[in-house]
Homo-oligomer: A and B are copies of this chain.
Amino acid sequence: MQPDERLAVIDLGSNSFRLVVFMAAAGWWKRTDEIYEPVRIGEGLAATGGLGEEPMERALATLDVFAHFCRAAGLLADQGPDRAPIGGAVDAVATSAIRDAENAADFLERARERTGLPIRVLGREAEAHYGYLAAINSTTLTDGCVLDLGGGSLQLVRVVERLARGSDSWSLGAVRMTERFLPGKGPAKRRQIEELRAHVAQELEQASWLVHTGRRLVGIGGTVRSLATAAQRAAGLPSNGVQGMVVEREALDALVERLAALPVAERSTVPGIKPARADLILAGALVVQGVLQAGGFDGLEVTEAGLREGVFFERLLGDRPLFEDLRRTSVMNLAARYNTDAAHTRHVAALALGMFDELARLGLHDGDSRERELLWAACMLHDIGMSVDYDDHHKHSRYLILNGGLPGFSPIEVATIAQAARYHRKGMPEPGPLAALFEADDAARLNRCAVLLRLAEDLERSRDQLVRGVDIALLNGAPDGEERVELHVIADGEAAVPRWAASRETELFARAFHRELSVAA
């Protein structure tokens, strides 16, 4: 894609239609717009084999809205005299329900006539491929399996060394399974659940490769996101989306039990389950359980990307549609969106990583490479909150990090980056609203990241890279014989203020590295 080019992806799913606009700019991309309608075009399909008149009418009216939107946004040429769209394109893709319906051709013709939208019907393999692209470019999966559960179908893709090695597809979507096995309004009956489970298990027998794949299972789709949100709420975890979250098998089992015991209308009382999905969620959860069972997976790793992102990534990345280093890409993408002072943030990162390495060399911490990456990310993102307001910009940076998302990082990693940015100016770091994610070593890691970021920021006080680096010495301090750390500031000129600023960090430094800090003139 060209800089500032936009792509509108229209996803005609069995359960919902969605229009998503992506924008690619120099060095970054983002979703800029979205329209969602719970169309349920797949309603009744399992029974009749065709698209019903009412669902089709809902679908056509919705596509009409999408087409209006695309024309107004310059993404679609006006009908009639052929005018090219401006700086963008539309890619409308249809999946399982439309693919499988007897009268699909009729519907597609009516859609084209009424809206002027050309619609690509994805084959099972193409649908699986886009799901794979979404998962592989939003998680660190290298070996394992991608699960894509829609309203109509389930796709499983085997991944070896980040590449897709075959896929299978089944008509096990949440809408279909609900209509076939759980049509009632009351609590689910044990027999119904057992029949659904048996059906899924039997269908999945053909995927004998499942048990030989890597131990990671990554899931996409609305059902998966809902289950993760519910599991997150049940565990009392902070709710800034579910990207990178792992739903353990036990958590899923508990959720299934809770949902099955409720009448359909009450399932949305389970925190995290939206009313629009209340009737489908149980069947979806049972299908996911079936996959965990069949493949012997311990849990399901969730990504918020989906088919739409897969279509976009293919367009963005061209022939080799994989990010080289996803975690780095995520950080750079978020940093670039908020347009910070690149020279300053890069220098803060260089200073902080220099100190990190020096202190590891001196044996004050073990120089863990993952911790080093989190420190780097916090440095790159610490000032993005200035786009909201200068006042409290450290808090705004946290907000933007938590809500902008960093695909490829786990929730506790994102939380550590966010809290380090939160404490890059003052205060004693603490997990704060993210405490539920913090385990034993995480608080110590946060302290180390925060104090190194803060020292680097102090040294870069003039924002002109005056301080080139730091030498660190470990001294045996008299009179008590305790080791202490001395910072020597290497600067191109007079650096009194950076030294004063750095010398204010003694308390936090002592907490992080258990040594007294002094800053030499």
Contact = CB atoms under 8 A, between A and B. Distances in A.
Interface of A: 20, 31-35, 37, 61-62, 64-66, 68-69, 71-73, 241, 304, 343, 386, 388-392, 396, 399-400, 403-405, 461-466, 493-494, 496-498, 500
B68 A390 contact: no
A175 to B, nearest CB: 20
A389 B31 contact: yes
Contacts of A343: 72
Contact of A403 (B33, B66, B73, B396): B396
Contacts of A391: 241, 304
Contact of A389 (B65, B404, B461, B496): B404
Nearest to A337: B387
A464 B68 contact: yes
Contacts of A20: 390
A66 B496 CA distance: 13
A353 to B, nearest CB: 21
A301 to B, nearest CB: 19
A33 B390 contact: yes
B464 A71 contact: yes
A494 B61 contact: yes
A391 B229 CA distance: 14
Nearest to A338: B387
Given A403-B389, A404-B389, A73 B463 contact: yes
A496 B404 contact: no
A320 B433 CA distance: 47
Contacts of A462: 64-66, 68-69, 72
Q: Which of A68, A241, A392, A400 has the most CB of B within 10 A?
A: A68
A304 B389 CA distance: 12
Given A71-B464, A72-B463, 14 more contacts: A20-B390, A31-B389, A33-B386, A65-B497, A65-B498, A68-B464, A68-B466, A68-B493, A72-B343, A72-B464, A388-B400, A388-B403, A389-B403, A389-B404
Given A37-B497, A61-B497, A62-B497, A69 B390 contact: no
B403 A34 contact: no
A392 B403 contact: yes
Given A34-B390, A389-B403, A403-B388, A496 B69 contact: no
A404 B35 CA distance: 26
19 contacts: A31-B390, A32-B386, A33-B390, A34-B390, A64-B462, A68-B462, A68-B466, A68-B493, A69-B464, A71-B464, A72-B343, A72-B465, A73-B463, A241-B391, A304-B391, A388-B399, A388-B404, A389-B403, A389-B405
A343 B69 CA distance: 12
A64 B497 contact: yes
Contacts of A73: 463
A161 to B, nearest CB: 31
Closest 5 CB pairs of A and B: A72-B464, A68-B462, A61-B496, A65-B462, A65-B497
A32 B340 CA distance: 10
A466 B304 CA distance: 32
A32 B390 contact: yes
Nearest to A462: B68
Q: Which of A62, A399, A403, A500 has the most CB of B within 10 A?
A: A403
Contacts of A62: 497
Q: Which of A404, A461, A496, A497 has the most CB of B within 10 A?
A: A497
A72 B466 CA distance: 10
A461 B343 CA distance: 42
A498 B405 CA distance: 32
A519 to B, nearest CB: 14
Nearest to A497: B65
A493 B396 CA distance: 43
Q: Which of A64, A241, A498 has the most CB of B within 10 A?
A: A64
Contacts of A494: 61, 64
A333 to B, nearest CB: 12
Nearest to A37: B497
A496 B34 CA distance: 19
Contacts of A463: 68-69, 72-73
A61 B403 CA distance: 39
Contacts of A403: 388-389, 392, 396
A493 to B, nearest CB: 8
A169 to B, nearest CB: 27
Contacts of A31: 389-390
Nearest to A21: B390
A405 B396 CA distance: 13
Contacts of A69: 462-464
A400 B392 CA distance: 12
